[in-house]
Chains A and B, each alone.
Chain A
Amino acid sequence: MGKTIDVMSLYPKDMNIYGDSGNVLTVTRRLALYGYEPRVTAYNQGDAWPAHVDMILGGGGQDTGQKKIIDDFFRRADLLRTLAADGVPMLMICGMYQLFGEYFETVDGTKLDGIGVIQAHTVGRDVRMIGNLVEHSDEFGDIIGYENHSGQTFLRAGVEPLGHVDQDGRGNNGEDHTEGARMNNVIGTYMHGSLLPKNPAIADYLIRVAAERRYGEFGTADQTADQREELARIDAIADKARAVAAARPR
């Protein structure tokens, strides 16, 4: 039996738009193929918080979904801030990315609080940024995905984006060519598609950090030859899917 890694899927009932569950599946399967024992907990509003959490994955949602989770989310805000400060790896997509920021200003000027894990704020706009997107990161290489959001996010000076985009009209706010944000081991991004299947480098980063925090190192002693081969096969397919996606129209 491999070593256990506890993965939390945050609000999958209401924050799950755009196939974000693909991220949970990718992490789960890859953990198993590295010889670990993934244990997934779905946390929805009102649920008991599990005893142990090694990684948290959150997705996008619509306004109605955000309304349903918001009270519970603020009840858990201190806990999430502590975990983020402790270095728990987290991936927050779209709606959860915005809620992890400092605030969201709606089109009519109302300010809604975020939990401030990421020093950024978002402004609601009438125009959506929609389409295939490739962004560049020194650590992860090209990140391939699909964005679909009307909120424009502005990072505070000094906050590191997840990647850089080549053109105006895409990314965090359409202006400064940044996309996403990083804070400790928290990644916020607008990229779905789902993100992790076609970007295994990010999935492996989350896995590595989770294993190092829990066991002191990311070891693959329990990985079998078959599992190593299967992982290589999946990554070869991901490479082909990445090449096609990068060449598609917006």
Chain B
Amino acid sequence: MAWNSFATPAIGKAVRWASRALHHGGSALPGRVIETIDPRFLARTLGTLPLGVVLVSGTNGKTTTTRMVASMLADLGLKVFTNPTGSNFTRGVASALLEQVSMTGRLDADIAVLELDEAYAVHFVRQVKPRYALLLNVMRDQLDRFGEIDNTARLLGHVAEATTGTVVLNREDPRIAGLAALTPQHTQVRYFGLSDDLKRFFPSDDDMATTVSVESEESGNDGTGAASLPAENPGDGRDPNAIELPADVTLTAVGDHKATFRIDGGDHATDVRLEGVYNLYNAAAALAVVRAVVADAPHDAARDAAATTGGETAVRGQSTSNGKKASDGFRARLERFAQSDTDALVRAASRVTPAFGRGEVIDVLGSPTELLLVKNPMGFRLSLASFPPDDADTMIVINDEYADGRDMSWLWDVDFTSLRAGGVAMVSGVRAWDMALRLNYDQVPVDKTDTDIESALNLFVHTNQGRRKHIYCTYTAMLTVRAALARIADVADAGVGK
């Protein structure tokens, strides 16, 4: 072992402490230092985990789904490491690891659940082969960074190729389902899916042909179908003759904080604490990957028993001095975990709470205020559909910093007509005028436009106090909005997700 691998945790912790003390606050800085002085840190540390790594990636829903998987596994008794700050780059993972490892470089966890952005996921799998990969969707998002969405799908293909145990794929996203062909021979593939009658609620990227012509008169030919009501006509992007792949978990019914999942032929209805109908589908994804981990558990337990009784701890890669004792705790947890039945899994899913910016409700001067993170057209559309604007004031804050995406084209792929009746009270952010222009072309009345987020927010929250409010924000706008709200309301110091 190289000298620097012993020193890594101490150096990293010192860098982390120093960066916090200097108010850099950046979660990636210590990770960057570690990557430079000890590039094997990530692989070595995560390599000690007996159940390996679950990697979650895709365009929409990474943070919430990662939180669900981690929370469910912990609920079912495992010790889970995750990257809760949503710092979904490899350096962010390294930084999060540094907080958790002991000075000898050991991570006290059974399994890691990591959210990684599509580009960084490729970088990550070169260092660490995940045992499980959950690939959610590919949507047009940050195209200025990744090029085109087929490229994004190719990035996730590298993840599928590197996964050693089970790849869990979204059956309803053709670009994701197609990655099954890339998985190695001994890697299993599982799918999560939607019942036919729910598919119209969850359009795929190909269904977003256009937002126009809903109001324009159609000519008589039959070529107009794709342009009208794209969200209601999702069959267009799919091959009607394709044989449907069997899904391990199927979302079959949705309601207000309610969902029904079909698993092994049985329907399991449950309440959920998550907001928004799209998170119910994320829950199906989380259930499918947790089921894969549970399915492997009896084999893992037997392997651990064989290794420890043989006087070795090969499975865990730990020193033998305290390996037996630690392993007993692990094995007990694992054996209990292996017993988890479907009801226990669904119960665990029902207890997951929303992550930052995913339907968080804050009390602001007596107004229940929903903070909604929007970062691509599909997410924006689903949020608009999930939070009806009736009896609520609406504010939209659009920035175009690097983390938001510089290109404003995506606003034209969102249909805002549902806001027409109630109007939008305030539009803000660097690109407030782009947003106002977009709303005007959809004939949505806009009360005020102010590029300064703080002054706009101040006026917005002091108007109609007590009335429900919805604030849609891009990523960096959300940071500013939360910081400003924290001065007048109780805002949880939650990790910053993406």
* Chain A residues within 8 Å of B223, by CB: 41-44, 46-48
Known A-B contacts: A9-B213, A21-B210, A29-B441. Give 8 more (CB < 8 A): A19-B377, A42-B210, A47-B221, A148-B147, A193-B408, A234-B437, A241-B436, A245-B434
Q: From residue 18 to 45 of chain A, which have CB atoms closer than 8 A to chain B?
A: 18-22, 24-26, 28-29, 37-44
* Chain A residues within 8 Å of B143, by CB: 17-18, 148
| Shortest distance from the beta carbon of A38 to any chain B beta carbon, whole Å | 6
A110: interface (CB < 8 Å): no
A198: interface (CB < 8 Å): yes
Choose from A150, A193, A198 the contact partner of B407 (Cβ within 8 Å): A193
**CB nearest to B400 among chain A residues:** A248
8 pairs, CB–CB < 8 Å, chain A vs chain B: A20-B409, A22-B438, A25-B212, A25-B441, A28-B215, A44-B223, A48-B223, A197-B441
B430 and A24 contact, CB distance less than 8 A: no
A26 and B406 contact, CB distance less than 8 A: no
Q: From residue 140 to 195 of chain A, which have CB atoms closer than 8 A to chain B?
A: 146, 148, 150, 192-194
**CB nearest to A29 among chain B residues:** B441
Q: From residue 119 to 152 of chain B, which have CB atoms closer than 8 A to chain A?
A: 140, 143-144, 147-150
Please judge, given known A-B contacts A24-B210, A24-B212, whether A41 and B219 are in contact too, CB under 8 Å. yes
A238: interface (CB < 8 Å): yes
* Chain A residues within 8 Å of B407, by CB: 18, 146, 148, 192-193
Mask, B398-411, CB within 8 Å of A = 1, is: 00100000111111
A131: interface (CB < 8 Å): yes
B210 and A17 contact, CB distance less than 8 A: no
Question: B: which residues have CB within 8 A of A?
Answer: 140, 143-144, 147-150, 206, 208-213, 215-219, 221-228, 236, 377, 400, 406-413, 430-434, 436-438, 440-443, 449, 451
Mask, A42-63, CB within 8 Å of B = 1, is: 1110111010000000000011
Please judge, given known A-B contacts A12-B227, A244-B431, whether A62 and B149 are in contact too, CB under 8 Å. yes
**CB nearest to B207 among chain A residues:** A13
* Chain A residues within 8 Å of B412, by CB: 19-22, 25, 194, 197
| Shortest distance from the beta carbon of A127 to any chain B beta carbon, whole Å | 11
A244–B432 Cα gap in the complex (Å)?
A: 9
* Chain A residues within 8 Å of B409, by CB: 18-20, 22, 146, 192-194
A62–B430 Cα gap in the complex (Å)?
A: 29
A234 and B216 contact, CB distance less than 8 A: no
A245 and B150 contact, CB distance less than 8 A: no
Question: A: which residues have CB within 8 A of B?
Answer: 6, 9, 12-13, 16-22, 24-26, 28-29, 37-44, 46-48, 50, 62-64, 128, 130-132, 146, 148, 150, 192-194, 197-198, 233-234, 237-238, 240-241, 243-245, 248-250
A148 and B224 contact, CB distance less than 8 A: no
Choose from A6, A21, A63, A243 the contact partner of B413 (Cβ within 8 Å): A21
* Closest 4 pairs (CB-CB, A-B): A47-B223, A22-B412, A19-B412, A42-B227
Choose from A21, A47, A238, A241 the contact partner of B209 (Cβ within 8 Å): A21
B406 and A19 contact, CB distance less than 8 A: no
A48 and B147 contact, CB distance less than 8 A: no
Q: Which of A13, A192, A198, A244 gathers the greatest number of chain B CB atoms within 10 Å? A: A13
A241 and B227 contact, CB distance less than 8 A: no
A40 and B437 contact, CB distance less than 8 A: no
A41 and B224 contact, CB distance less than 8 A: yes
| Shortest distance from the beta carbon of A221 to any chain B beta carbon, whole Å | 21
* Chain A residues within 8 Å of B437, by CB: 197-198, 234, 237-238, 241
Q: Which of B147, B227, B236, B408 gathers the greatest number of chain A CB atoms within 10 Å? A: B408
B210 and A241 contact, CB distance less than 8 A: no
A237–B451 Cα gap in the complex (Å)?
A: 13
A48–B225 Cα gap in the complex (Å)?
A: 13
Q: Which of A26, A148, A249 gathers the greatest number of chain B CB atoms within 10 Å? A: A148
* Chain B residues within 8 Å of A132, by CB: 406
| Shortest distance from the beta carbon of A4 to any chain B beta carbon, whole Å | 9
A148–B429 Cα gap in the complex (Å)?
A: 23
* Chain A residues within 8 Å of B217, by CB: 37, 39-40
Choose from B212, B226, B406 the contact partner of A249 (Cβ within 8 Å): B406
| Shortest distance from the beta carbon of B427 to any chain A beta carbon, whole Å | 10
B408 and A146 contact, CB distance less than 8 A: yes
A63–B153 Cα gap in the complex (Å)?
A: 13
* Chain A residues within 8 Å of B226, by CB: 12-13, 42, 44
| Shortest distance from the beta carbon of A64 to any chain B beta carbon, whole Å | 6
| Shortest distance from the beta carbon of A78 to any chain B beta carbon, whole Å | 19
* Chain B residues within 8 Å of A128, by CB: 147
B440 and A233 contact, CB distance less than 8 A: yes
A212–B412 Cα gap in the complex (Å)?
A: 29
A233–B445 Cα gap in the complex (Å)?
A: 12
Please judge, given known A-B contacts A22-B412, A130-B144, whether A16 and B208 are in contact too, CB under 8 Å. yes
* Chain A residues within 8 Å of B209, by CB: 12-13, 16, 21, 42
A241–B400 Cα gap in the complex (Å)?
A: 13
| Shortest distance from the beta carbon of A226 to any chain B beta carbon, whole Å | 13
* Chain B residues within 8 Å of A234, by CB: 437, 440-441
Please judge, given known A-B contacts A28-B212, A148-B143, A192-B409, whether A40 and B430 are in contact too, CB under 8 Å. no
**CB nearest to B210 among chain A residues:** A21
B408 and A245 contact, CB distance less than 8 A: yes
Please judge, given known A-B contacts A40-B212, A197-B438, A234-B440, whether A50 and B433 are in contact too, CB under 8 Å. no
Please judge, given known A-B contacts A48-B221, A193-B408, A193-B409, whether A21 and B211 are in contact too, CB under 8 Å. yes
* Chain A residues within 8 Å of B410, by CB: 18-19
**CB nearest to A150 among chain B residues:** B147
A244 and B224 contact, CB distance less than 8 A: no
A62 and B150 contact, CB distance less than 8 A: yes
Please judge, given known A-B contacts A21-B412, A146-B407, whether A244 and B451 are in contact too, CB under 8 Å. yes
A40 and B434 contact, CB distance less than 8 A: no
* Chain B residues within 8 Å of A64, by CB: 150
B227 and A9 contact, CB distance less than 8 A: yes
| Shortest distance from the beta carbon of B50 to any chain A beta carbon, whole Å | 41
* Chain B residues within 8 Å of A26, by CB: 441
Please judge, given known A-B contacts A22-B412, A194-B412, A248-B430, whether A41 and B406 are in contact too, CB under 8 Å. no
B148 and A62 contact, CB distance less than 8 A: yes
